[in-house]
Amino acid sequence: MNATERYGRLETHLRRRRDAGRSLLVPYVTAGISADWTDYLHAYADAGADAIEVGLPFSDPMLDGATIQEASHRALSSGTTTAGVLARLAGTPVAVPLAVMTYANIVFRHGAATFCDRLAQAGVAGLIVPDVPYDEVDELSTVATAAGVELVLLASPVTAPTRLRRIAERSRGFVYGVTVMGTTGERTGLSDSARALGTTLRGHGSRPVLLGFGISSPGQAALAAGSADGVVVASSLMREVLAGRGPREVAGTVAALRAGLDAG
Amino acid sequence: MELSRPGPDAVGTGRSRSVMADPGSTGRFGRFGGRYVPESLVPACEQLESGFRAAWADPAFRAGLARTLALHAGRPTPVTPALRLSAELGLTLLLKREDLTHTGSHKINNVLGQAMLAKRMGKTRLLAETGAGQHGVASATAAALLGLECVVYMGERDMRRQELNVFRMELLGATVVAVRNGSRTLKDACTEALRGWVTQVDEAHYCVGSVMGPHPYPWMVREFQRVVGEEARQQCAALLPQGRPDVVVACVGGGSNAAGTFAGFVDTDARLVGVEAAGGAAVSRGAPGVLHGYRSQVLQDEHGQILEAHSISAGLDYPGIGPEHAHLADIGRAEYPSVTDAEVVEAVLRLARTEGIVPALESAHALAWVLRAAGTPQLPTGCSVLVTLSGRGDKDGAQLVALRRDGARSGALRRDAAGTPR
């Protein structure tokens, strides 16, 4: 927040693009969903992604809807492991920063410090852990900072005002505004509470605010970007991936989202 | 018999201050517990915690709950001396008879507490997860009694295994939602119930079935089950010359009947033994982890993926254990051995034929450990043992019949085994 705070790689990148007048787009892919899953990263970056969220699959994804559950299940069934994913990422330089999204049990399995060090070694800039809320964040936040990993915090439509401010201050990389009271998944429209959340979070400083959960169409993305700095899009892309569409095809959808944001 | 009334507050009694006390606002039991939920569930957990604190400090709420437990659920339950089995084992065995409650298990203590709390908080719907169906049936029962809607999440595989309980829940007016994710069993039902709760926090209360889940559940459920231990303590004082048992034993899946039982004895010098299923032994075979909103010992692989538990009793088929149990194991106040399915079947038979009581497969885990340990330094001849018989075995009839048909892995269910101590 203050002038002396040094931003990490993810946040510096997002701020620069945002400050240049661009609405931010962060598409998602489940790691290990196919043999060529890292090709989606390059395709997304080429199609106008500003950063990419990489899902590290967990057996019991509490905050994910049917599409990402299916993707996680499929990735795990084909033998995907954290170590394997990070090794692949280490050997796959991508043109935009990556943020890993996973659950607490994966992070704490061999210690949060070890996990964050491994992320950093793999070149991952950010970390999103939806089942570690603000009150439980101290331990993870400390080791993430030490490892140079930006821990992105989430805020929901029912988060109390003072807590929203603390989350906005404590988050690194960006602030993740969850737009719906529900799991990840496609929905139509954008609620008033989602817009209000974006506006409130932006009022707490200059850190980029991205809205996610339920945003799938270019029109929705443009609408969300009206009250935030950008969007995270996951389920609609993963539905295509699950249907067997390849990196180039799904990148077409990313490009359409990009165009929607640029036009909005 | 006089209705047992909980003391004003266990927190105030010197020796129990640090063990099995109020875990405070963080919900920590040593390094376990906490509240690992998405931000969207944090306000609901906070509201529940303050609602429970207010209710639990309100004599009118507690009197109302005690009355409902007495008039509807049949409390207090007796402590029955198991005379013939005691003689065979060379010790004094007492059984706390939760199998005699309405709906047939200790689950009713917790659901009546939570349903009354939900109603007091203005909620109109109960959500519950269930494995074998016992907690689902209890929740449906409490919802019917209090005029609440009830939605029960149940793994599709469990629904097939427990058809009768699905019917019972529906008979009681509940909606049973089939969970088709993951292993399609209890752990997936828990995950799905949490997902469902996120979408309806305003009107719905998630009625967690054991001492698990995010704070305040492990503490709150233990407090609602405390009645088991407190009644038993008074009853033991009247039955045993030394006033309390040497050893207190209960089975542990999530661990709610054990938590309630232990809470009544934790400030005595009685040994506390929680018995897990060998295929679901979270304390001895798990590793620290985070599942369903809390940190505890969890069965998982080296990569952090949750493993399925495997047990003859669906009620113990859960890969975690209540965080307070993990803590009691940490500090050495309680121990958590495990028993095999074969030992469990044998224990069912032994109790049925010596005492005329058919215990639930879950409860038989506690007995199985007593049978194994009796006469060894673990349970020396002449000592006194209290076993919480958490539920009755009627629900397991079909499974026992199938085991006998298949020749029973231990041979224990063959007709020629009748009455023979093994």
Q: Is residue B2 in some structural domain?
A: no
Task: From chain A, pick out residues whose CB is under 8 angstroms from the CB of B184.
Answer: none
Q: Is residue B8 in some structural domain?
A: no
Cross-chain residue pair B292–A62, CB shorter than 8 Å? yes
H, E, C per residue of chain B: CCCCCCCCCHHHCHHHCCCCCCCCCCCEECCEECCCCCHHHHHHHHHHHHHHHHHHCCHHHHHHHHHHHHHCCCCCCCEEECHHHHHHHCCEEEEEEHHHCHHHECHHHHHHHHHHHHHHCCCCEEEEEECCCHHHHHHHHHHHHHCCEEEEEEEHHHHHHCHHHHHHHHHCCCEEEEECCCCCCHHHHHHHHHHHHHCCCCCEEECCCCCCCCCCHHHHHHHHHHHHHHHHHHHHHHHCCCCCCCEEEEECCCCHHHHHHHHCCCCCCCEEEEEEEHHHCHHHHCEEEEECCEEEEECECCCCCECCCCCCCHHHCCCCCCHHHHHHHHCCCEECCEECHHHHHHHHHHHHHHHCCCECHHHHHHHHHHHHHECCCCECCCCEEEEEECEECHHHHHHHHHHHHCCCCCCCCCHHHCCCCC
- Cα(B384)–Cα(B82) distance, rounded to whole angstroms? 11
**A229 Ramachandran zone, left/alpha/beta (phi>0; psi -120 to 50):** alpha
Cross-chain residue pair B290–A157, CB shorter than 8 Å? no
Cross-chain residue pair A60–B291, CB shorter than 8 Å? yes
Residues B307 and B294 occupy one common structural domain:
yes
Count of C-beta atoms within a 10 Å radius of residue A214: 26
For B88-104, what is the mean pLDDT?
Answer: 98
How many folded domains does chain B comprise? 2
Among the partner-chain residues B39, B293, B304, the one whose CB lies closest to the CB of A178 is B39
- Cα(B230)–Cα(B257) distance, rounded to whole angstroms? 12
Residues B188 and B297 occupy one common structural domain:
no
State the pLDDT confidence band at B422, using cuts at 50, 70 and 90.
very low
What is the model's pLDDT at position B79?
A: 98
The string of pLDDT tens digits covering residues B35-73 is: 999 999 999 999 999 999 999 999 999 999 999 999 999
Residues B284 and B138 occupy one common structural domain:
no
Which residues is B177 bridged to in the sheet?
A: B153
For B141-167, what is the mean pLDDT?
Answer: 94
Q: Is residue B398 in some structural domain?
A: yes
Cross-chain residue pair B39–A155, CB shorter than 8 Å? yes
- Cα(A113)–Cα(A132) distance, rounded to whole angstroms? 15
Among the partner-chain residues B38, B201, B302, the one whose CB lies closest to the CB of A133 is B38
Residues B49 and B156 occupy one common structural domain:
yes
B76 pLDDT higher than 80: yes
Tally the C-alpha atoms within 13 A of residue A115's C-alpha that lie toward its C-beta.
29
B9 pLDDT higher than 50: no
Among the partner-chain residues A73, A105, A136, the one whose CB lies closest to the CB of B289 is A105
Q: Is residue B413 in some structural domain?
A: yes
Residues B179 and B272 occupy one common structural domain:
no
Residues B292 and B389 occupy one common structural domain:
yes
Distance from the B308 Cα atom to the nearest Cα atom in chain A, whole angstroms: 10
Residues B285 and B156 occupy one common structural domain:
no
The string of pLDDT tens digits covering residues B284-336 is: 999 999 999 999 999 999 999 999 888 888 788 899 999 999 999 999 999 99
| Percent of chain B whose predicted confidence (pLDDT) is above 90 | 81
List all residues 6 or more positions away from B71 whose beta carbon is below 8 Å from its beta carbon: none
What is the model's pLDDT at position A186?
A: 80
In order of their start, the domains of chain A are 9-263 (3.20.20.70)
- Cα(B415)–Cα(B422) distance, rounded to whole angstroms? 14
- Cα(B182)–Cα(B308) distance, rounded to whole angstroms? 10
Query: Rounded to a whole number, what is the distance in angstroms from the first to the last CA of chain A?
Result: 28
State the pLDDT confidence band at B17, using cuts at 50, 70 and 90.
low
DSSP one-letter string for A117-159: HHHHHTT--EEE-TTS-GGG-HHHHHHHHHHT-EEEEEE-TT-
B417 pLDDT higher than 50: no
* Identified catalytic residue from A50, A53, A186, A229: A53
Cis peptide before B76 (omega within 30 of 0): yes
B419 pLDDT higher than 90: no
For B161-184, what is the mean pLDDT?
Answer: 92
Q: Identify the closest residue of chain B to A181 by CA–CA distance.
A: B199
- Cα(A76)–Cα(A188) distance, rounded to whole angstroms? 30
Q: For residue B322, which phi and psi values (nearest 5 degrees)?
A: -50, 140
Q: How far is CA B198 from CA A218, B38, B47, B230, B281, in A?
A: 26, 9, 14, 35, 30
Cross-chain residue pair A183–B195, CB shorter than 8 Å? yes
| Averaged pLDDT of chain A | 95
- Cα(A106)–Cα(B304) distance, rounded to whole angstroms? 5
The answer to whether the beta carbons of residues A188 and A163 sit under 8 Å apart is: no
Residues B289 and B399 occupy one common structural domain:
yes
What is the model's pLDDT at position A184?
A: 84
Tally the C-alpha atoms within 13 A of residue A131's C-alpha that lie toward its C-beta.
31
Of the candidates B70, B46, B69, which has an alpha carbon nearest to the alpha carbon of residue B116?
B69
Residue owning tokens 């074998």: B132
Of B217, B237, B252, which marks where a domain is finished? B217
B418 pLDDT higher than 50: no
**A173 Ramachandran zone, left/alpha/beta (phi>0; psi -120 to 50):** left
What is the model's pLDDT at position B413?
A: 55
Q: Is residue B5 in some structural domain?
A: no
Of B217, B244, B270, which marks where a domain is finished? B217
The answer to whether the beta carbons of residues A168 and A197 sit under 8 Å apart is: no
Task: From chain B, pick out residues whose CB is under 8 angstroms from the CB of A132.
Answer: 36
Residues B270 and B327 occupy one common structural domain:
yes
B398 pLDDT higher than 90: no
| B328: containing domain | 79-104+226-417
Cross-chain residue pair B181–A105, CB shorter than 8 Å? no
The string of pLDDT tens digits covering residues B341-396 is: 999 999 999 999 999 999 999 999 999 999 999 999 999 999 999 999 999 998 88
Q: Which residues of A touch B (CB under 8 A)?
A: 58-63, 65, 69, 73, 76, 81-83, 103-106, 108-109, 130-136, 154-160, 163, 167, 178, 181-183
- Both structure tokens of A110: 């061999």
Q: Is residue B408 in some structural domain?
A: yes
Distance from the A159 Cα atom to the nearest Cα atom in chain B, whole angstroms: 7
Residues B113 and B89 occupy one common structural domain:
no
Among the partner-chain residues B26, B37, B288, the one whose CB lies closest to the CB of A133 is B37
State the pLDDT confidence band at A181, using cuts at 50, 70 and 90.
confident
The string of pLDDT tens digits covering residues A48-68 is: 999 999 999 999 999 999 999
Q: Is residue B3 in some structural domain?
A: no
Q: Identify the closest residue of chain B to A59 by CA–CA distance.
A: B305
The C-alpha angle B413, B415, B419, rounded to 5 degrees, equals 85
| Averaged pLDDT of chain B | 91
Cross-chain residue pair B181–A73, CB shorter than 8 Å? yes
What is the model's pLDDT at position B2?
A: 36
Of B163, B195, B217, which marks where a domain is finished? B217
Distance from the A263 Cα atom to the nearest Cα atom in chain B, whole angstroms: 32
For B150-173, what is the mean pLDDT?
Answer: 93
For A83-102, what is the mean pLDDT?
Answer: 98
Among the partner-chain residues A82, A108, A159, the one whose CB lies closest to the CB of B289 is A108
Task: From chain B, pick out residues whose CB is under 8 angstroms from the CB of A158.
Answer: 40, 43, 201
Q: What type of residue is B337?
A: P
Task: From chain A, pick out residues whose CB is under 8 angstroms from the CB of B38.
Answer: 62-63, 130-131, 133, 154, 156, 178
Q: Identify the closest residue of chain B to A160 by CA–CA distance.
A: B43
Q: Any catalytic annotation for residue A53?
A: yes
Cross-chain residue pair B36–A157, CB shorter than 8 Å? no
Task: From chain A, pick out residues whose CB is under 8 angstroms from the CB of B304.
Answer: 58, 82, 105-106, 108-109
H, E, C per residue of A83-97: HHHHHHHHCCCCCCC
Which residues is B251 bridged to in the sheet?
A: B275
Residues B270 and B369 occupy one common structural domain:
yes
The C-alpha angle B70, B76, B79, rounded to 5 degrees, equals 165
Domain containing residue B288: CATH number: 3.40.50.1100
The string of pLDDT tens digits covering residues A94-104 is: 999 999 999 99
Task: From chain B, pick out residues whose CB is under 8 angstroms from the CB of A109.
Answer: 287, 289, 300, 302-304
Q: Is residue B319 in some structural domain?
A: yes
Q: Identify the closest residue of chain A to B308 by CA–CA distance.
A: A59
Q: Identify the closest residue of chain B to A130 by CA–CA distance.
A: B38
Which residues in chain A belong to E strands, given as ranges? Answer: 24-30, 52-55, 98-101, 126-128, 150-155, 175-178, 209-212, 230-233
Among the partner-chain residues B36, B302, B304, the one whose CB lies closest to the CB of A131 is B36
* Identified catalytic residue from B210, B363, B390, B410: B390
Residues B317 and B381 occupy one common structural domain:
yes
Task: From chain B, pick out residues whose CB is under 8 angstroms from the CB of A83.
Answer: 303
